[in-house]
Amino acid sequence: MSQVRPRIRGGARRSGGVLGYPLDQLYQEVAFVAYHFHWSVQEIASLEHPERRRWVKEISAINQRLESETNAT
């Protein structure tokens, strides 16, 4: 345990993943991207957290634009 703590607390080797990230939110993000882009669970789950959140944001923006266009007609 003593070897792991400095790496986590110092952040030097910390990257995306589930450490400290709500598992329910990870499942929601993976399902959302998989539904819209048809990427595999492995592809989406292997993305770093900021990149995965960016894809969620971009897909949401696309959906909002499409909904606006649909409601405008």
Give pLDDT tens digits for 16-73: 555 677 889 999 999 999 999 999 999 998 999 999 999 999 999 999 999 999 898 7
pLDDT of residue 39: 95
Of the candidates 14, 52, 24, 25, the residue with the CA atom closest to the CA atom of residue 36: 52
How high is the pLDDT of residue 1?
Answer: 41
How far apart CA 35 and CA 19 sit, in angstroms, is: 24
Q: Where is pLDDT greater, at 7 or 45?
A: 45
Name the token pair of 57: 């944001």
pTM of the model: 0.66
What band does 2 get if pLDDT is binned at 50, 70 and 90? very low
The residues spanned by each domain of the chain are 4-72
